[in-house]
Structure 1
Amino acid sequence: MTTDLYGGRLDRAVRLRGAGRADEARELLLELRAEFPDDAVVAYQTAWVHDVLDREAEAVAHYRAAIAGDLPEVDLRDAMLGLGSTLRALGRDGEAAAVFERALARFPGDRPLRVFRAMLRYNTGDVREAVADLLRLLGETGDDPDIRQYRRAIDHYAADLDRSWLR
């Protein structure tokens, strides 16, 4: 982070949030948002602290401002994940789905994005796709030798959970 621009306040807010003092971090970040309304990094950090405080509805606008701005790639991915997850938590499933699709188009194969999209799919009743997504992730990431030995079968079943090949 660039502490010169913010006089060390952004770094302090991040430290406060990390130390469990999110209310104090929120106050400082809202001051920074007022002072730097077009700053994507400040918007992202402000969204994040609102999520930490279970103030999801307030986080949405900050996430949107961050994503519309000039965020570093790693922060952009996290902001998109945060926005999609927050919208899902608020029951705004259509908006969440659009965010996850856009995020996965930008960051194809990103595993955390895929997990959160699977949770959304489950919430929207697309249980088959949710389970298939999670099985694919398990096959890709599982370090357990017992899982690895069945990876081919897991991938096969993930592709056709309804077992239409048996009918």
Structure 2
Amino acid sequence: MNDDRDAALARAVRLREQGETERARGELLALTDRYPEDAEIAYQTAWAHDKLELEAEAVPYYERALSTPGLTAQDRHGAFLGLGSTYRVLGRHERSLETLRRGLEEFPDDPALRVFAAMALYNAGEHHESVTTLLKVVAATSGDPGVHGHRRAIEHYADDLDAFH
């Protein structure tokens, strides 16, 4: 990679992390002009837009990040989560579900992707699948002793919410 690019990207990320998101956004936009096919820069640019509640402006950067090679698995995961969540906030529930499901194809057991998919399912009117998904995530990830002690029952009823026995 290019040392100038790496230093500029690191500086912009640091600015975002320090709460100077508007400044970070400006630097990231300049970097996207210089490196339009750079997935990492596109992802960081999307993230800065999201942090500033500029969701609609974030979408093309998330899409570019996911369609261009070069993201680490962690950043790819973050891009699926960010884009899926952003589509949901924008009321584009089917696109949100599509994106989160693509993310789950790559990261099938990821609880965060599953929870965001459950929210999108709820918004899309798929209440049964939404609750089922949430119950399974709770059963699998909760450290609460009461939940853990009833994990098998929760998993059973998650598959058959209408069962009463």
Q: The TM-score by the shorter chain falls in which range?
A: over 0.9
For each residue in 1:106-148, what CA deviation from the matched residue of structure 2 results, as whole angstroms up to 9, or x when unmatched?
A: 1111111001000101111111111111111111111111111
RMSD: 1.3
Q: 1:147 maps to what in 2?
A: 147
Distance in 2, matches of 1:114 and 1:51, equals 20
**Given that residues 94 and 124 in structure 2 are in contact (C-alpha distance below 8 angstroms), is that contact kept between their aligned partners in structure 1?**
no
Match of 1:124 in 2: 124
* Matched length: 164
Answering whether residue 41 of structure 2 is matched by residue 42 of structure 1, we say yes
Q: Does 1:87 align with 2:87?
A: yes
| Counterpart position of 2:96 | 96
Structure 1 Cα separation of the partners of residues 93 and 142 of structure 2? 29
Structure 1, unmatched stretches of 5+, are none
Aligned to 2:73: 73
TM-score by length of 2: 0.95
Please give the per-residue CA displacement for 1:19-51, whole angstroms capped at 9, x wherever unaligned.
111000000000000000000000000000000
Task: Work out the percentage of aligned pairs sharing the same amino acid.
Answer: 47
Q: What is the CA–CA distance in structure 1 between the aligned matches of 2:6 and 2:68, rounded to whole Å? A: 21
**Distance of 1:5 and 1:37 partners within structure 2:** 15
CA positional deviation for 1:3: 6.8
What amino acid maps onto 1:46 in structure 2? T
* Shift of residue 14, structure 1, vs aligned partner: 0.6
Structure 1 counterpart of 2:121, one-letter code: R
